[in-house]
Structure 1
């Protein structure tokens, strides 16, 4: 091939950007378009990370440097499956990589989970992160709240629910989110983990951030705080587990504050059984679990009922099916072999690849996505000789198609305009940034339209 390899990456979050970065560092000359259904880049970092995580949001700086590479072009406000189809991408690119992530809440099959004021964690995260497709109103009239889960998302949800709104004023939260949290009636947030403290999936950093709130008392309940043989072995061999357990033990032993307006309770070995209520959530029922010696748990047949007027389940994210691509509904992933997408017969779909959570499921931290991308890109490069050449690989041909279809796409330069606008809004309030929420406003500002 005498011209650069033309690659389309669908999804401009960390998974897609890391894949693009690895491609640019290969010996193959490349020309890459990152397409995203949102007008702005960064995906999970912009719309899935709690606003009070400055260190995690610092990843944007690294992603920004990658996006500045001349081999990359950002095309936002382009929805795959609506504005453009797989046949279109195959006509204009030599290879296509799907990095669409996981955008839905995994379900939880217990009675009452669909009652009013029972929510998936993603719904709440999208609200406080100003996701354009999320409702702008959120009812926080509950005094007692139950959060189901023992991962980082569960901690984020619990921390934001317990936090005073004024403590978030330094972040980029939109005004409606500040107002909603300011009017919150929450006094007690209860987080329930099905297994023991040594089996928790959150990171030490996320756990310690719970304690960075002056008006919130962290209460580690001794019932369920148990360690079995497998737990002790994990503590001895895994520094992360050791740090988590030590932090929890220290909190459990310290003197109570007594003078805080809000409390965040941590319960272990409590499995969700039912959400109770008639028209809305009124209580949350759990079964007491016990460790079996190997890190697993079993039910004891003993049950407890907790007052709660809202429930949030943080039991995992789930990817949405991708148009014209096989999808494993049970796993929530695109069938693949090392990132090579497989058809319904298990054969490779020529020139089509996947990376990130849509490839392997929503597990691991953001940094783990780099290893994912490396595997996929290595296999793509290995397939170079067998890739078919695009019919219309010229860089402007895809732009012509989008304009013919009247797609109001945004660009990297447009993101620069939106970024500067948000920073200016923040500066007026003494904040680093104030996020623009409405999609139409994002598009208008990005495209420089009045």
Structure 2
């Protein structure tokens, strides 16, 4: 009986559970119908389907996330840039403060002052035989008829020009000018210049404590005393690059001696490039390879003009030191044509970007100031624009040092009060309003080095 009673109770409980489940399912269906009805009404009012509304929300969140990401990336980039800049400036400042070279900008002309113009007749000689002998033996052009009491020597090879200048000066001092004497004095002065070049090479190696240099590289190093690039003496430049690279290598825990060696020989090819068809880089690599120089030295010669990727941090340091030395004020001179072309290229690159209103190249082409339309880009987009311009300049132009790109986004908003109503004045009868116009001026400046 107890068993039968329990079974009956269980059957009643099961029936009750089925009824409740049925009522719950019916209620759930009713709720789904209500929800569907409400969604249909909302779609009709908003003229959006549920999928379209979902996609609209997703797109909006994407835009917000992208903008927030750009702002965060900009903040992180600025923080890292400032940190890296501080550390790099500290290393470079310590390296540069040890450099105290004075630069002399050289030309392709040398002049010799004369006591009077009668000496010009002696230099020319009867029927011009003396001046022809001087030009044939020294391989220079002697100009005597353009400047009073001055002889001008013209030659692109500074070694030949210096030997000729010394030869003519001694001929004038001896007051004995004839073809035989020209040949004798020229031979003597040529030997003097060659000795001075060897002495300059030895002094340079002693200064930097560099040993085991091949005879060919030693001779070429001496000739760099007479080579210039944009007016900057190449031997002096090479010594400075070696010192800068060595100092920075020491700060970074790299091989100081190897860095100085790579810095000294990075422009060695310029000693022979005057009359050669190959570039100074190709000549330098060939000579260094023949001398069995360290692979890092050879790579520094190749990579400082980006003809190869650096294989060592030392190659990167040599490249940096080369740019520092070449970009120091007074180190090199630009021709008017080069200067004009650089300015035009900078302004053209920035002007071609969308949203740019005006472009100004400042500080002799070391800064580009870009004014943009505020309605066409946000602050984050202005930051990206400065990076894009800086990147394109870096990829398409050659320049010493750095060029700073400054993007200015300026927004000016004006609001004026209503015209003053005399009848609603303040009762003083002076007809002057008491409202003040207001003006908002917002400026955003973004810089990219």
Q: Same fold (TM over 0.5)?
A: no
Query: Which one scores higher on RCO, CA 8 angstroms, separation ≥ 6?
Result: 1
Taking structure 2 as the reference length, the TM-score comes to 0.22
Q: Hey, which of these two has a bigger chunk of helix by percent?
A: 2
- The structure whose Rg is larger is 2
Q: Hey, which of these two has a bigger chunk of strand by percent?
A: 1
